[in-house]
Chains A and B, each alone.
Chain A
């Protein structure tokens, strides 16, 4: 009797250990016709779109199944690090293209060079030049473009009129002048949500581009530029402080971007520094798109602020051909029409017509066409640890804890210690 009990309990324990061991594996379906895709958790419209795309691909390819796994942003980044170079990862992963994120996984050997597939499917002719720049930046072809986001200033035309601003700003001085006029008219010039850090960061990135120019900014953001030695860095932080003190919405450091955006949607704030995804949001929140204008941040360099997102094939995947087939479908005209503008206003496929149901989409098409290259959000350029410090310094300048003149040197000290 006792022996039976003991054996039963040991069996139970063994089962538990087996279950635990099973939990430690991830991704990479063993079925030869199953593809595993990892993405960060998508918003509702994006989730619906990707699932529709997967359903259609499965319908057209009998026997193929696609398993989509979604995680929070931090979890997604961590999980990819854990599986890089092993066979435990997905066949396809979605990631941001910037050097601090997608570039890090390219360096780690996780991204398969897709040169052969670009030749086979003729992808070089399919995608826009702007979207391809993020794919070829590390040499070879890493990833397939999924979305190309531009960021600029959305402004409320009625509030501009009310403040006596007759033409949208085309220089930084005109932008600062417009902000002052709005403030004088009792209107919040621009809204930000400070708790998410990256929202205010867009202004700081743009001010660095404005004050330092394209070459120095690139050296600072992506090269070995010395943040403590450049006068323009102090100028950028000083301007940031001025905007925070004078022109931001009240209490911006205590609210997130969604709460702050309500001020723009409700007509309390005149400007919002947002990206192409905002076209749908302003309409969803009851604004008439004809009342809204968009201008690039007038840095004077002619470059457009923005970033790209791509699907990468895992170098350790044994199903690269099937993965490439799925990505070919997903970025084809048919696939892009299924996903619509769930991720961005403009498709990365240059043959896909701009969706003119929202007039703001056409404005972005023009802005992309006029841009002379681009500059990327610094939370994509920097390592994750540098980004955390960049945000701390940014917010410390805004709260007055760090003098703008000391900000660059403090950031450089951190970079040197890494």
Chain B
């Protein structure tokens, strides 16, 4: 018993400095925690709570508990939900392949010593600093069926038969928005990859060269493993940014034509703040949250396991 008491006392003594540091830090953390809780955590949890209610947004009207009815309606009766879901999934998959791949290729290219390297880095990065709604406005003009650059260019080079209503035809609209997304998203991932490439040990590259490894072998066996932490960050950010895509779609098509470019984040907003069906909006937001966590958490867990190894 005395031994236990001594051990406890010893542990308590060892813990004191940490505990003390926490006490000191706590007051400084409180404002941030309050803001985080108020503006992020509470709305998120409230959206989940609302998904089990029917509520039209009138403060005087008590939300009515409907259990899983909103989810049932969403999955079985909402004519737009599955389109939005499918579009979000396609957006994530394409984002992981195209902008990410292009960003890696650009980063590898611009990591070499060449004339105008910094200028080109800046040029490729600039779209990333534009607000998405600005990008949307620019590309809306580029795709304008009569005055836009794309159709006028096609006419000028004798490909008038290829001109389209790029944002007005459900067959092309989502793809057309995605091209604008590639233009905007590539720069950010490129910068991350460029930063990651600075961490690739030059000695290892040189050693691989001496061992007779060709460029592809050096890339696969040295560069790719060294880029692993950067790749994890790029992939997680890409998944998150893809699932929450909103501004570009709002600015270019508003989800149309006929809801064909609708995505989950925008449909959640539309259900809540345009249709005033806050329960349905909360249900869409909850599905989006679950999909995001389902994609990000396993990937993070898997990649961290790799780190440990």
Which A residues are within 8 Å of any B CB, using their own CB? 2, 5-6, 8-10, 12-13, 16-17, 20, 74-75, 77-78, 81-86, 108-109, 194-197, 249-255, 259, 263, 383-385, 388-389, 392, 395-396, 398-399, 401, 410, 414, 417
Contact = CB atoms under 8 A, between A and B. Distances in A.
A196 to B, nearest CB: 8
A401 B258 contact: yes
B184 interface: no
A84 B59 contact: yes
B27 A74 contact: no
A389 B277 CA distance: 13
Contacts of B164: 251
B254 A253 contact: no
A194 B24 contact: no
A201 to B, nearest CB: 12
Given A250-B165, A388-B275, A255 B59 contact: no
B133 to A, nearest CB: 13
25 contacts: A2-B24, A5-B24, A6-B24, A8-B27, A10-B27, A10-B30, A13-B34, A78-B57, A81-B59, A81-B276, A82-B57, A194-B168, A195-B253, A195-B257, A251-B144, A252-B165, A254-B145, A254-B257, A255-B140, A384-B275, A385-B276, A388-B275, A392-B258, A395-B259, A396-B258
A6 B277 CA distance: 44
Interface stretch (B73-81, B106-114, B195-203): B73-81
A194 B276 contact: no
Given A249-B146, A254-B145, A254-B253, 6 more contacts: A6-B24, A82-B57, A251-B164, A254-B167, A385-B275, A388-B270
A196 B140 CA distance: 14
A160 to B, nearest CB: 22
Which of B61, B168, B271 is the most central at the interface, judged by chain A CB atoms within 10 Å of its CB?
B168
Return the 10 tightest CB-CB contacts between A and B, nearest first: A251-B145, A9-B27, A254-B168, A253-B168, A85-B60, A251-B165, A254-B167, A395-B258, A385-B275, A81-B57
Interface magnitude class on chain B: 35 or more
B284 interface: no
B154 to A, nearest CB: 13
Interface string B252-277: 01101111100000000011011111
A122 B173 CA distance: 55
Given A82-B57, A86-B59, A388 B168 contact: no
A251 B168 contact: yes
B28 A74 contact: no
Nearest to A78: B273
Contacts of A108: 58, 60-61
Most buried by B among A75, A82, A250: A250
Contacts of A385: 271, 275-277
Contacts of A17: 34
Contacts of B38: 20
A253 B253 CA distance: 9
B56 interface: yes
A42 B271 CA distance: 25
B9 interface: no
Contacts of B167: 195, 251, 253-255
Interface string B113-157: 000000000000000000000000000100111100000000000
A254 B270 CA distance: 19
Interface in B29-50: 30-31, 34-35, 38
B233 to A, nearest CB: 31
A81 B34 CA distance: 27
A13 B165 contact: no
B206 interface: no
B274 A395 contact: no
Contacts of B30: 9-10, 12-13
Contacts of A5: 24, 27
Nearest to A89: B59
Given A254-B166, A254-B167, A395 B275 contact: no
A384 B274 CA distance: 6
A250 B27 contact: no
A81 B30 CA distance: 33
A108 B79 CA distance: 29
A388 B34 CA distance: 37
A86 to B, nearest CB: 6
A399 B170 contact: yes
B169 A399 contact: yes
Nearest to B269: A74
B59 A85 contact: yes
A85 to B, nearest CB: 3
A77 B79 contact: no
B179 to A, nearest CB: 14
B118 to A, nearest CB: 38
B16 to A, nearest CB: 14
Given A12-B31, A17-B34, A253-B257, A74 B170 contact: no
A417 B80 contact: no
B258 A84 contact: no
Nearest to A418: B277
B169 A254 contact: yes
B145 A74 contact: no
Contacts of A410: 79
Contacts of B61: 108
Interface in B158-189: 164-170, 173
Contacts of B274: 74, 384, 388
Nearest to A417: B77
Contacts of A392: 79-80, 258-259
B142 to A, nearest CB: 11
A396 B79 CA distance: 12
Contacts of B60: 84-86, 108-109
Given A195-B253, A255-B144, A82 B59 contact: yes
A277 B143 CA distance: 28
Contacts of A74: 273-274
